Amino acid sequence: MELPSLPPAFLQLLDAVVPASDRAAVDHSYTTLHWTSFRLNPLKGHPEDTLAELTAHPALTPQAVEGVDGVFTVPPEQREQLTHHPAAGDGRLYIQGLSSMAAVWALDPQPGEEILDLAAAPGGKTSYIAARMQGQGRLAAVEPVKARFHRLKANLQRLGAGHVHTYLKDGVIVGRLTPQRFDRVLLDAPCSSEAQFTRLDPESWAHWSPKKVKDSARLQSKLIRSAYQALKPGGVLLYSTCSLSPEENELVVDGLLREQADVTVEPVALPQPLPQRAGLLHWQGQALAPALAHAVRILPSAHTDAFFLCRLRKAA
C-alpha cells in the first residue's frame, strides 16, 4: 500500500535544505520505524545494575553507542518492551533520541557551574544536564505552559533530579530578570516540530503549516536574545530546534550575530558521529553569517531525528 505523501510545502523545504546526495536516505527515513535510543540514569540506581537487568531480558539486545558513556540503542521492534520495562517506568533509564542528547553533548555542562535551561518541559535535556553536573552547581529550568511545567516537575522527581530549580515563567523575560548570570544556557526552542514527521502517521504533520514556522521564528528570535542576555561574559549558549526550516535555525542565529558584536559561533564536536551537515550560508537569496558553517544540521535517518544545533560564546 502506498504511504501518504508529506505536505507539498515541506517537500519543497527538503528540496532546498537537504543536499541532493543525502536526499534518498532522508526520504527513506520518513517511511520506516526508527531505532530507539536511551541513556542510563546515574541519578537513579546504579547504571551497571540497570544494564545487567536489561541484557538479561530475553527480548532486549541493547547496543552501546560508541564514544558516549551509558547510551544505547535497540532496534525498532524492541521499542515496546523497552518502554514497558520497569527501569523506564522508575527513571533508571530515559528513552531519548540521539539528536536530543546531542544538544547536551554540545552544551557540555560541567559540575559546579550555574546553568539555565530556558525551554525545559518535559525535561529530557534538563535531567541529562543534571546527571552530567553530578549534583554540583545550580541548574534552573524554565517552562511557561502550566500543564507542561507540572509534567517537567514530575519527570525531574522521577529521574532523581528533584533538586533542579524550576520556574513557571515566560523565557522571553528571563534575560532581563537574571542578566549575565549563567555559565551555560540551553535554548531548546519551541518550534514547528518538523522532526516528528513520518509517512507512517499523517497526524504527525496535522498541526504544521508555513505560518507555524513563521510564528515559531518570531518567538525564537525573542528567546535567543533573552538567553544571550542571561549569559555571563565567556559563557556558552546552545541553541537547538527539531525543525529543518532555516527561518527557525540559521536566520534566528544570524539575527543575533548581526546585533551582538561580542558573540562567536563555535564548532560543535559531537562524541558520536551522527549524519550531519554544516549550517546553511544562504537562504532565499540572502547571505548569512559565514560563521554559521559551524552550526550543525543533523539529518533524519534510521537512528536520528532531524535537529539543528548551534553553539555560541559571549566574549569574556
**Among residues 145, 168, 281, 302, the one that binds ligand SAM under rule CB under 6 A:** 145
Shortest distance (Å) from residue 171 CB to ligand SAM: 3
Question: For the stretch 58-92, what's the b/e string if a residue is b when 16 or more beta carbons lie within 10 angstroms of its beta carbon?
Answer: eebebeebeebebbbbbeeebeeebeebebbeebb
Geometric angle at alpha carbon 159, from 103 and 115, rounded to 5° = 45
**Among residues 101, 142, 265, 312, the one that binds ligand SAM under rule CB under 6 A:** 142
Shortest distance (Å) from residue 19 CB to ligand SAM: 25
CB nearer to ligand SAM: pick between 224 and 257? 224
- Marked catalytic residue, from 43, 133, 242, 244: 242
37 HSE (CA, 13 A, CB side): 23
- Work out whether 109 is an interface residue with ligand SAM (CB under 6 A): no
- Work out whether 122 is an interface residue with ligand SAM (CB under 6 A): yes
Shortest distance (Å) from residue 165 CB to ligand SAM: 15
Choose the stretch contacting ligand SAM; rule: CB under 6 A; options: 122-130, 253-261, 264-272, 285-293.
Answer: 122-130
Question: What region, left, alpha or beta, does residue 135 occupy, with left being phi > 0 and alpha being psi -120 to 50 degrees?
Answer: left
CB nearer to ligand SAM: pick between 148 and 313? 148
Shortest distance (Å) from residue 118 CB to ligand SAM: 6
- Work out whether 119 is an interface residue with ligand SAM (CB under 6 A): yes
Site string for ligand SAM, 252-271 (x = CB under 6 A): --------------------
Shortest distance (Å) from residue 100 CB to ligand SAM: 6
Binding positions for ligand SAM, 163-222, rule CB under 6 A = 170-172, 188, 190, 219
Site string for ligand SAM, 235-254 (x = CB under 6 A): --------------------
Classify 128 as helix, strand or coil.
helix
* DSSP code for 201: B
Q: How far apart are the first and last CA of the chain?
A: 58
Handedness of CA 16, 277, 73, 101 (dihedral sign): negative
CB atoms within 10 A of CB 46: 11
- Work out whether 40 is an interface residue with ligand SAM (CB under 6 A): no
Rounded-to-integer distance, Cα 108 and Cα 227, Å: 17
Q: Reply yes or no on whether 242 is catalytic.
A: yes
Tell me the H-state helices in 57-145: 79-83, 86-89, 98-107, 124-133
Question: For the stretch 275-292, what's the b/e string if a residue is b when 16 or more beta carbons lie within 10 angstroms of its beta carbon?
Answer: bbeebbbebeeeebbebb
Shortest distance (Å) from residue 20 CB to ligand SAM: 29
Contact 4, 200 (CB under 8 A): no
Contacts of 226 (CB under 8 A, 6+ apart): 118, 171, 172, 173, 174, 175, 176
Shortest distance (Å) from residue 109 CB to ligand SAM: 13
Residue nearest to ligand SAM (CB): 171
**Among residues 87, 101, 120, 224, the one that binds ligand SAM under rule CB under 6 A:** 120
- Work out whether 123 is an interface residue with ligand SAM (CB under 6 A): yes
CB nearer to ligand SAM: pick between 128 and 291? 128
Pairing mode, if any, of strands 296-298 and 276-278? Answer: antiparallel
Residues that bind ligand SAM in the complex, under the rule CB under 6 A? 100, 118-125, 142-145, 148, 170-172, 188, 190, 219, 223
- Catalytic residues, by residue number, are 242
